[in-house]
A and B are shown apart, each in its own frame.
Chain A
Amino acid sequence: MSRNEAFITGIGQSEIGVRLERHPLLLTVDAVKEALQEAGLTIDQIDGVSTYPGRASGMLGFSPIGSDELIDALGMKTTWYAGGGEITSQLGAVVAAADAVRTGQARHVICYRTVYEAAAFTKPDEYPMPKRDRVDSYSQWLAPFGAISAANWTAQYAMRHVKKYGLTREQLAQISLTDRANAALNPKALVREPLTMDEYMSARMISTPLCLFDCDRYTDASTVLIVSAGDALDEVKCTPVRIAAMAGSVDRHSWDQAEWMASYATGRDLWKRTDYTPADVDTVQLYDGFSFLTLTWLEALGFCEVGEGGKFIEGGQRIALDGELPLNTFGGQIGAGRLHGFGFAHEAVVQLRGLGGDRQIEGDPKVAIATSGGGPLATALLLAKD
């Protein structure tokens, strides 16, 4: 273990729910305390904080807690912090933290993502919806045409796969069916009932070819990952998980000018930075804000050829908990809740430590991938237990 490498040590997660009454700062504290306890660290040993996207004042439910607020609320003496949306998606906050500990700017960094999107609907005075007389920035090129949701933007890439590569709804369903089967084994998951193919096929359409069950849903929760420096591991009591490679990309920050979503360049670049190959990977935790994004990650990371994702997941056995490439073993966002990117890295660590309980994969997994985003922005982490 090189001192110049970065490791995920403690991990923590609040309860996951919809319309939770608990204050989002306290949900964040719940996750922080669990992560500290697991790592055997105290808050005084934390000297960095990293988050995505920071406090979103115009859209508070999306991100209610800023890193500066968390630092002050918990009396942390930090030497480094970062929080912002202009980063290669949610797990870009972990990439930033890894760079900070590798360069000696911090030893133990709390990375967190807190979402309060379901509760915000019930507290409009405290968490007002954005008021937009006019739209600007990238929304102006989409919203005037009713392309208001990321479902619409993702759906158009999905339709291209349907028409160009023959992706079927029965194939795409395997992402959601797998998510929901795994969520049924995760006591914290938002949805505990498995989904059947009949339910999927008869679900109402959101934006063709995506139906209701291809989409995650608003959730209230906080997830924490502590990123520690290689020379600080003697302070940690849990099994460290090495960040073996990181990649992220933004070619064009655009949902309609880019020929390919950012997941493809990110997956390609990840393998340039490691000696590991896709054959070494024991489990994949791939972003599923929409099921189709997961399918593109499988292609992007080289588990199958571009356009072959539908055939790769057909029948679902390959990506099942007992399959050759267990996928989203905690239920993904579609099953466990919209933790917004951080849930994938959290679960990769759970599996590598063998702490998955009923959903623990067989054998002794040593290598996992966690990703976030996949549209105009994407991040991939290759995680290894040495």
Chain B
Amino acid sequence: MSNRPLPRLDSVNRDFWTCGADSELRLQHCNDCQQFFHPPRPVCRHCLSENVGPKAVAGTGVVDTYTVNYQKWHPAIEVPFIIARIAIDGAPGVYLTSNVIGCEIDDVDIGDKVQVTFELQDDVYLPLFEKVS
């Protein structure tokens, strides 16, 4: 997928979409109640604090659910591929929709452990996931 639809970067989402430049996954975090939340916003959805900012997580997670997409919705995206909802370790309640790559399409299941890997396209570092054994 070298021609993905890309997000429009702004002051709130830029760190998430570029943290891969530092080879780490960062999520919005509240420095008062110490909870992560997603999508990133300038206020904590748990305690309404504005004392929030990006914080690194381990970059591992678990496949919460997934689907194998066969329909060619986008002319530049080859099918089939795995779309998965990843529960991010260390950030309870935060999920990222992403792709599981580097394995056969029938080799993914709920509960699989995964590790982030970044794919650079233009100015965006897309957080994708690979299975870890």
- Whether a CB of chain A sits under 8 angstroms from the CB of B109 is yes
With A and B bound together, what is the CA distance between A163 and B112 in angstroms?
13
Known: A149-B73, A207-B68, A208-B68. A141 touches B83 (CB 8 A): no
**Are B39 and A141 neighbours in the complex by a CB distance under 8 Å?**
yes
**Are A208 and B4 neighbours in the complex by a CB distance under 8 Å?**
no
Selected contact of A146 from candidates B6, B65, B93, B99, CB within 8 Å = B99
Number of A-B contacts (CB under 8 A): 109
In this complex, the member of B1, B69, B74 whose beta carbon has the largest number of chain A beta carbons within 10 angstroms is: B69
- Whether a CB of chain A sits under 8 angstroms from the CB of B117 is no
Enumerate B29-72 residues with CB–CB distance to A below 8 Å: 38-39, 64-71
Selected contact of B73 from candidates A148, A159, A163, CB within 8 Å = A148
With A and B bound together, what is the CA distance between A132 and B7 in angstroms?
10
**Are A157 and B77 neighbours in the complex by a CB distance under 8 Å?**
no
Selected contact of A206 from candidates B70, B77, B95, CB within 8 Å = B70
**Are B83 and A156 neighbours in the complex by a CB distance under 8 Å?**
yes
**Are A145 and B6 neighbours in the complex by a CB distance under 8 Å?**
no
With A and B bound together, what is the CA distance between A149 and B5 in angstroms?
13
With A and B bound together, what is the CA distance between A163 and B110 in angstroms?
8
Residues of the A chain whose Cβ atoms lie less than 8 Å from the Cβ of B110: 159-160, 163-164
Residues of the B chain whose Cβ atoms lie less than 8 Å from the Cβ of A4: none
In this complex, the member of B38, B68, B73, B97 whose beta carbon has the largest number of chain A beta carbons within 10 angstroms is: B97
- Whether a CB of chain A sits under 8 angstroms from the CB of B85 is yes
Residues of the A chain whose Cβ atoms lie less than 8 Å from the Cβ of B9: 134
- Count residues of chain A with CB under 8 A from any CB of chain B: 37
With A and B bound together, what is the CA distance between A208 and B79 in angstroms?
13
- Whether a CB of chain B sits under 8 angstroms from the CB of A151 is yes
Residues of the B chain whose Cβ atoms lie less than 8 Å from the Cβ of A142: 97
With A and B bound together, what is the CA distance between A141 and B8 in angstroms?
11
- Whether a CB of chain A sits under 8 angstroms from the CB of B98 is yes
With A and B bound together, what is the CA distance between A255 and B38 in angstroms?
12
**Are A146 and B1 neighbours in the complex by a CB distance under 8 Å?**
yes
Enumerate A205-219 residues with CB–CB distance to B below 8 Å: 205-210
- Whether a CB of chain A sits under 8 angstroms from the CB of B124 is yes
- Whether a CB of chain A sits under 8 angstroms from the CB of B13 is yes
- Count residues of chain B with CB under 8 A from any CB of chain A: 38
- Whether a CB of chain A sits under 8 angstroms from the CB of B126 is yes
- Whether a CB of chain B sits under 8 angstroms from the CB of A140 is yes
A214 to chain B, nearest CB (A): 12
Residues of the B chain whose Cβ atoms lie less than 8 Å from the Cβ of A132: 5
Residues of the B chain whose Cβ atoms lie less than 8 Å from the Cβ of A140: 7-8, 13
With A and B bound together, what is the CA distance between A151 and B109 in angstroms?
19
**Are B77 and A156 neighbours in the complex by a CB distance under 8 Å?**
no
**Are A146 and B81 neighbours in the complex by a CB distance under 8 Å?**
yes
With A and B bound together, what is the CA distance between A134 and B66 in angstroms?
25
With A and B bound together, what is the CA distance between A307 and B69 in angstroms?
24
Q: A142-B97, A207-B67, A256-B96 are in contact. List 15 more A-B contacts (CB 8 A).
A: A134-B5, A136-B10, A138-B39, A144-B5, A144-B6, A148-B73, A155-B83, A156-B66, A158-B67, A205-B70, A206-B69, A208-B67, A209-B67, A256-B85, A257-B93
List 27 interface pairs A-B (beta carbons < 8 Å), by A numbering: A133-B8, A135-B5, A135-B6, A136-B8, A136-B10, A140-B7, A142-B97, A144-B4, A144-B5, A145-B99, A145-B126, A145-B128, A146-B74, A147-B69, A155-B83, A156-B67, A156-B84, A159-B65, A160-B64, A207-B69, A207-B70, A208-B70, A209-B67, A256-B95, A256-B96, A256-B97, A257-B94
**Residue positions of B touching A, CB distance < 8 A:** 1, 4-10, 13, 38-39, 64-71, 73-74, 77, 81, 83-85, 93-99, 109-110, 124, 126, 128
